[in-house]
Amino acid sequence: MPQIFISHATEDADFARRIAHSMRSASVDAWMAPDSIHPGEDFVDAIQRGLEDTTHLVVIMSPDAVESSWVKLEMNTAIRLERGGKLSIMPISFRACEPPVLWGAYHWLEYEGDYDKLVENLLRWMGVNEARSWIRPAPLEAEELARRQAILEEIALEARACAACPLHLERLNAVPGEGPANARLFFMGESPGPEDDQTGTPFVSAAGDFLGELIDLINLPREEVYLTNILKCRPHQNRDPLVSEMNACSGYLQRQIEVINPRIIVTLGRFALSRVLPDAKISKIHGAPQHTGERIVMPMYHPAAALYRQRYRTILIQDFLKFGDFLDKPENLT
């Protein structure tokens, strides 16, 4: 069962108690600093011990919390634990609080007065949500699954040996794609990153880590979606793909889509969007599902954009949370 610690400034104690109450009502073990202190125990030791026993930290980040030495202590302790993979951190922007530099790198939930929505997003973040079985990999007969896997492996072998465009001269490894042959969600980015090129595995760079966090927001394990790029080999210096390269490589992508037959294609960045909706502008339709016959296209900005601009990080988080809302309603697929 997830456990949530709610860090807050004294001024926001009522709001913190309200959240704790909502979490407990959803069978989440929620607590705040005063709850955790044993008689005679040092406060700092209690925070350390308590955070070590928890899985999720919510920080009600108000202007008072930014100045609070206790909130800083709790956050800094949590960051150490988070780096060891022991807990997740989610600040909530409360009372028009701007993220301080160190904490600006985390997902922020904006609280704009819709309390039910806030609770819903917190529960989704913790994975306390009904499993959306209909977006998990499709149940298939073993024979059909094996057939699809064999075709994907064939495509991968061809891509690794491909010399159809000049990128084969620069690559260390082609990066065909990764994921279940029966995935219902198909993520396509632009081209492999440097670490992807070194390993032959898609989305293992910093942008890939962030994509993993975004996929967490829709409450799906990353292993249950298919991940690939429109180019299977990396252009040097991360330059934009050329039309000639995308055209040369398009057959692999097309065959992957045909064999996996996903219900939803999530495009990451403008180049990926241009392959499925050539006239669409990502700045106009990001985060808005597009019904295109048998599939739904979900246009998103590329997670790499968020590495350099906080604005894109915020947009991506909001778009993925909206995507989660969309996925909650199976009727959206009809």
With CB under 6 A as the contact rule, which of the stretches 43-51, 167-175, 290-298, 302-310 interacts with ligand SF4? 167-175
Give yes or no for residue 156 binding ligand SF4 (CB under 6 A): no
* Sole binder of ligand SF4 in the list 162, 181, 214, 282 (CB under 6 A): 162
Give yes or no for residue 167 binding ligand SF4 (CB under 6 A): yes
Give yes or no for residue 168 binding ligand SF4 (CB under 6 A): yes
With CB under 6 A as the contact rule, which of the stretches 35-43, 80-88, 91-99, 241-249 interacts with ligand SF4? 241-249
Give yes or no for residue 155 binding ligand SF4 (CB under 6 A): no
Count of positions on this chain that bind ligand SF4 (CB under 6 A) = 14
Closest separation in Å from C-beta 197 to ligand SF4: 11
CA distance 276 to 265: 9
* Sole binder of ligand SF4 in the list 89, 126, 155, 248 (CB under 6 A): 248
Give yes or no for residue 207 binding ligand SF4 (CB under 6 A): no
With CB under 6 A as the contact rule, which of the stretches 103-111, 127-135, 227-235, 324-332 interacts with ligand SF4? 227-235
With CB under 6 A as the contact rule, which of the stretches 114-122, 212-220, 226-234, 264-272 interacts with ligand SF4? 226-234
Q: At what angle do helices 115-125 and 13-25 cross, to 10 degrees?
A: 60
Nearer to ligand SF4, 8 or 234 (CB): 234
* Sole binder of ligand SF4 in the list 231, 296, 317, 327 (CB under 6 A): 231
With CB under 6 A as the contact rule, which of the stretches 85-93, 113-121, 164-172, 201-209 interacts with ligand SF4? 164-172
Nearer to ligand SF4, 57 or 231 (CB): 231
In the numeric block, which tokens belong to residue 93? 């922007």
Using the Cα atoms of residue 317, residue 322, residue 328 and residue 331 in order, give the sign of their dihedral.
Answer: negative
Nearer to ligand SF4, 1 or 169 (CB): 169
268 beta partners: 300
CA atoms within 13 A on the CB side of 328: 14
Interface positions with ligand SF4 (CB under 6 A): 159, 162-165, 167-168, 174, 231-233, 245, 248-249
